Amino acid sequence: MAKAKAAKAGRVDMHDLMKIVNKKAGQNVAHNLAGDNPTAVKEWIPTGSRWLDSIIAKGQVAGIPVGKITEIAGLEATGKSYMATQIAANAQKVGKMVVYFDSESAIDPMFLERAGCDLDRLMYVQASSVEFVLETIEELLGATDEQLVFIWDSLAFTPSVSDVEGDFNPQSSMAVKARILAKGMSKLVIPIADKRATFIVLNQLKTNIPQGPMARQIAMTTPYITPGGKAMHYAYSLRIWLTGRKAKSAFIEDDRGFRIGSEVKVKLEKSRFGTQGRSCAFRIMWGTDDVGIRDEESWFDAIKGSEHLTSAGAWYTFSTPDGYTKKFQPSKWTSIITSDEDFKSRVLRVMDEEIVQKFDQRQGNAKEFYEDQEDLSVPLKE
């Protein structure tokens, strides 16, 4: 009996191939990147710092990327939670709902309202375990098309189920949390992107204690580590590290010596948007009526090296090519920039030129755009 010949496959175009793959997957997983790119960030949530937003992504003023996972890690008292609540308030302003997982029992309604949050669009969840947080995020992503912002405060302080049910011996649950997180991230990365959700993980910077000669060499260049394991490093699209400012008091005091805020140095430990290693600085106020980043105050430092800003004694002169000039003393900067809209808009244009455009076009000295790790690794004074 003659053997039947296999039917010869016909020619198909890219659209037909995509239909085959999507049918097999049961959802749209195949895309033509010449059209709609599912991996591109189309929306950003402002951090509350224009300077920080300006260094996160090349060629634009950005923020926290929607559809991605972001880490905000810092030393104690550097304002991680304060920064997160300000981001939550900014997310609510553009119609997003916030889910706040708290493992430290440190959040109260008055604090959230002072940061600008709408409590009616914020769900507070006690983070009883790592597994509970990850499973809840997965379930909420599947239950609604609402654009959600998940804030986890904090990964370092949230136990695994085995930690809760076991004894106090750390050896009995070694690496359990890291394995759970590795599996959880592999399950959540794509759903977060597909639903245009945002996942912000707060974490702690811990001293990198060397174990041996090779480890000591690594610790000299990497003085801090974060809990969670290597899988988290790969899952993050953006890692923002907060530390104390060098050669300055880490705390801000009022005229009577009471502490009302912190001086914070920020470094992008990782950025998939072409800006890894860039840094900025700002003040976070937490002992005043309005909680959050003092944005305009930091703009002076942001443009201090610009040719548009010159100094003579105690006076500075801000100038632009169209002949505009403004003389001021640094102590008057905030009052001037908040009351003079023309001056404010001109400063913002100079910031965009100096911080965004010059970096994007690789103009000037590259060292001016980066900071050494040593400059950022300054523990806060107690």
Q: What is the pLDDT along the chain (382 residues), one digit of tens a residue?
A: 455 555 455 677 888 899 999 999 888 889 888 877 888 999 999 999 999 999 999 999 999 999 999 999 998 888 899 999 999 999 999 999 999 999 988 888 998 999 999 999 999 999 999 999 999 999 999 999 999 999 999 999 999 998 888 777 776 677 899 999 999 999 999 999 999 999 999 999 887 766 666 555 555 556 688 888 889 999 999 999 998 865 455 788 888 989 888 899 999 999 999 999 999 999 998 888 888 899 999 999 999 989 999 999 999 999 999 999 999 999 999 999 999 999 999 999 999 999 999 999 999 888 888 865 443 333 333 3
Sheet containing 309-312: order of strands: 309-312, 315-319, 325-328
Helix crossing, 295-302 with 341-351: angle to 10°? Answer: 50
Type and span of the H or E element at 315: strand 315-319
Q: State the pLDDT at residue 168.
A: 78
Amino acid at the residue 279: S
Give the torsion sign (CA, 136, 138, 158, 63): negative
45 in Cβ contact with 87 (< 8 Å): yes
Task: State the Cα–Cα distance between residues 47 and 242, nearest whole angstrom.
Answer: 13
Q: Domains in the chain, ordered, with CATH? A: 37-294+369-376 (3.40.50.300)
Residue 242 pairs in a beta bridge with: 74, 266
CA angle 60, 61, 65 (to 5 degrees): 95
Q: State the pLDDT at residue 278.
A: 97
Cβ contacts of 26 within 8 Å, gap of 6 or more: none
138 in Cβ contact with 168 (< 8 Å): no
Q: State the pLDDT at residue 26.
A: 85
Q: State the pLDDT at residue 4.
A: 52
Q: State the pLDDT at residue 104.
A: 85
Alpha-carbon 374 to chain mean position: 21
